[in-house]
Amino acid sequence: MNEEFQDHQIRDIIRINYKYTMGGQSKFFLELMKHKKLLGTKCTKCGKTWMPPRINCSDCYAPANWVELKQTGTIEVSTIVWYTTSAFIKAIPYGVGFIKLDGAETALLQGIFSENLVPSKIKKGKKVKAVFNKEREGKMTDFFFVPEDEYENWISKPEYEGGN
């Protein structure tokens, strides 16, 4: 390093307010927020049902129509999270996994919470059910999945509720 160079640093904070659009997938987030519905899409040509929803089929590129899916599903693959960003730090440890909702042919990456979080509780093939925050903002964090046998416990908590 050049001996004449002296680095002077000032600690500061940059705060950025911004908004972004969900574009063609806005309907998914609005129905989630307002009506606790989980909408996928069904291809008008090949009939494949997508969750997360695709406005156009990712296989054949034909337009897809909105369809309401069941709020139960099966874990395809999962893991337990021990390190995360500040947004989720209070929740660790928690599960995440790809969930195939009943009626969908693709899987959704989403949080899986359990009151007794051990790998066997969230392993492949286990049935899960969606639980919704009472205060929803139209974000993916408005809902999460729980093992089916814990569903009634979760929706009895004051901050959560069951779906449709």
Complete edge-to-edge strand list for the sheet that includes strand 64-68: 49-50, 39-43, 64-68
**Gap between the Cα atoms of 138 and 158, Å rounded:** 19
Residue 57 lies near Zn ion (rule: CB under 5 A): yes
What are the DSSP E strand ranges found in the chain?
Answer: 39-43, 49-50, 64-68, 72-81, 94-101, 108-112, 127-133, 143-147, 160-162
**Taking the complex as a whole, how short is the minimal distance between the CB of residue 1 and Zn ion, in angstroms?**
58
Residue 92 lies near Zn ion (rule: CB under 5 A): no
Determine the size of the site formed for Zn ion (CB under 5 A): 7
**Taking the complex as a whole, how short is the minimal distance between the CB of residue 110 and Zn ion, in angstroms?**
23
**Taking the complex as a whole, how short is the minimal distance between the CB of residue 31 and Zn ion, in angstroms?**
22
C-alpha distances (whole Å) from 163 to each of 49, 54, 145, 153 are 21, 22, 11, 14
**Taking the complex as a whole, how short is the minimal distance between the CB of residue 150 and Zn ion, in angstroms?**
36
**Taking the complex as a whole, how short is the minimal distance between the CB of residue 53 and Zn ion, in angstroms?**
13
Binding track over 34-53 against Zn ion, x by CB under 5 A: ---------x-xx-x-----
For Zn ion, the closer CB: 103 or 138:
103
> Residue 80's CB: how many other CB atoms inside 10 A?
17
Alpha helices in 51-157 (DSSP H): 151-155
Residue 60 lies near Zn ion (rule: CB under 5 A): yes
For Zn ion, the closer CB: 104 or 128:
104
Which residues are near Zn ion by CB under 5 A?
A: 43, 45-46, 48, 57, 59-60
